[in-house]
Chains A and B, each alone.
Chain A
């Protein structure tokens, strides 16, 4: 009786073994350019529509709004853009299968705009080995620009994080006397990139950092960390966190009577988030951040602002035009459209990469004076930023545009 059961299991194992052998002769089929037909281009990405980073969930919708707008005006070289995006919850364990799905099932031409450092890292090898462009990813880590030799199919969009925090470090050295810096950072590659830049900017005065507190990306309550930073005697607060944690930290700091000179990293400083923090009782006056996108807040009546708002109201109803992430999405999508245009009628994946690595273009949705320039060996599409300070109910740019010296 038991020996028969065992026999059947052994047979089953042999059948499975045959599957392994069969896999050795797995076939590959070559077709024309995936995701491209005479009438359409299919691209796709993964975004945190839910989870700890869900405040970025508006970005793919704004991007899609811009693609819809372009499609309504004839598309790109006669093709309409079809943008598929999935929710990975900022969880790389979800990003991987969803990206496999985009490539293998949905047969996208390129993975476009996917958000997050950890999710992008988790899929970078797969996409580069498969020769699928991973372009204009929504993360400012320095990897994308720095490691292009190993990962030629990957390119970023926004200014790199270390470059941004380097400027904060230099600013602290020049303008904040007797600074004692407390850092709140996310405990992963994203936080580390920002922290490294701050160290570089401080140069010989690294000892100004009196305390560094870390949190895990899935953790939203950072009040303990803020208590510790205050207790450490910090009078400068450097925040390298996601929006939710940033808002919490700002509110807690005010509640416990801590009023340091505060630096908020660009990706968490949308006026929408600052407004939320203010409503919850945070004092955000004179906080400092850096930006590179078009200033629709201080210039509401320019042609660019009007176009931006009309695209949102027409194709992304319910979007808040005062959320910087929507400007980001439109600016990013405009770059994709520009690259697709440059790649021409005979669109190929290599052609798209060539276009993105030979940019010399003024993106109307970026801060005036910021230019998108890339070469095959200089792959940081946006390399300039300007500092801003929070006054009243909004950010006010000050000083001049700086470039990230590398």
Chain B
């Protein structure tokens, strides 16, 4: 057992060193790209809590990102706050929004819950359009600009905090309760897990992390308007979570890099003609899904020879609610 954990530690250490040293090699543009990857790391971690661990599908996490993004934008633009000081407020705003969505989510399952979150993702940008004195309406709000290095440092620091937080949250009693709720609600309830408390709490934490991701997304763009939080954003986060591996924290970085770097790389590459970029992107997604249906976390696990200790008896790589019923 001990030696296996040593391998995990080496891997974590290597990734941390690589992330910390990368900005000193990268150009300013690539630093802001790196910061965007950190944004998706946070959003995917958030989505993973609710979809990967608790088994509730959300295709509306872009809405929580919008809530965080607007919190930061309004506080800095209208009230002159320091950017970093807005992050805890965004976290809190996201948490509250998550609880509010989490309560009806108790009564919805599977595809119905997915549609509920989908509706939420459609509605939030509309709200921003209608309260234009706070939100700037369709014209949007401008934020202070920062160097790529600043953005990289802040985004990855926030991502590291949220990563550790998620890990601490999921490794103990709470994480076991989440997974119990995912694997069998009846069994969980009869073991004394309060479904309503844990499922709502999962939504709250998930939304809180997505909101921080949204804050940094807005800081990197130094601009916010409702059109920035298009529906594809929510779908990309879900795609990133699936590519990374639902129900595991190992593949998050790969999932985030996949959704941030692949579309931009394809679009600006000269190898692929622009009109075929969506086709190529779609084909790559299908290929990845076909080759590693359990996500890159599974590949890492096998490559490192780690035991399948996250899911011992029940194969939980696909949460029950994602399977056809």
Contacts and interface: CB of A to CB of B under 8 A. Distances in A.
A19 B20 contact: yes
B194 interface: no
A337 interface: no
A91 B232 contact: yes
A contact patch SS: helix
Contacts of A23: 23, 147, 149-150, 152-154
A97 B267 CA distance: 11
Given A18-B20, A19-B23, A125-B142, A5 B5 contact: yes
Interface stretch (B90-98, B181-189, B220-228, B291-299): B220-228
B228 A122 contact: yes
Contacts of A218: 230-232
B28 A189 contact: no
Given A15-B17, A16-B153, A104 B29 contact: yes
B308 interface: no
Interface stretch (A6-14, A264-272, A350-358, A371-379): A6-14
Interface residues of B, number: 60
A393 interface: no
A13 B161 contact: yes
B239 to A, nearest CB: 14
Contacts of B20: 12, 15-16, 18-19
Contacts of A123: 223
A371 B242 CA distance: 56
Contacts of B27: 104-105
Contacts of A22: 149, 153
Nearest to A104: B29
Interface residues on A, range: 35 or more
B227 A188 contact: yes
B145 A126 contact: yes
Contact of A12 (B129, B160, B221, B274): B160
Contacts of A192: 138
A101 B274 contact: no
B13 interface: yes
B157 to A, nearest CB: 5
A88 B23 CA distance: 26
Interface string B104-127: 000000000000000000000000
B275 interface: yes
Interface string B287-318: 00000000000000000000000000000000
A143 B13 CA distance: 50
A13 B12 CA distance: 12
Contact of A20 (B154, B230, B231): B154
B222 A16 contact: no
Interface string B163-176: 01001000000000
Contacts of A397: none
Contact of A50 (B225, B264, B275): B275
Interface string A93-109: 11011101101110000
Interface centre among B30, B152, B157, B220 (most CB of A within 10 A): B157
A149 interface: no
B214 to A, nearest CB: 12
A8 B221 contact: no
Interface string A214-230: 00011000000000000
A73 interface: no
B223 A122 contact: yes
Interface of A: 1, 4-5, 8-9, 11-13, 15-20, 22-24, 26, 49-50, 57, 86-89, 91-94, 96-98, 100-101, 103-105, 118, 121-126, 129-130, 143, 187-189, 192, 217-218
Interface of B: 2, 5, 8-9, 12-13, 16-17, 19-20, 23, 27-30, 32-33, 36, 129, 137-140, 142-143, 145, 147-150, 152-154, 156-157, 160-161, 164, 167, 220-223, 225-233, 263-264, 267-268, 274-275, 277-278
Given A23-B153, A217-B227, 17 more contacts: A5-B5, A8-B12, A12-B20, A15-B20, A19-B20, A23-B150, A49-B274, A87-B277, A91-B232, A92-B228, A104-B27, A104-B29, A104-B148, A105-B30, A122-B227, A125-B142, A125-B223
25 contacts: A4-B9, A8-B9, A9-B164, A9-B167, A12-B13, A13-B160, A16-B19, A16-B20, A16-B156, A17-B157, A19-B20, A19-B149, A19-B157, A20-B153, A87-B274, A92-B228, A93-B230, A93-B233, A100-B32, A121-B139, A122-B221, A122-B225, A125-B143, A126-B222, A218-B230
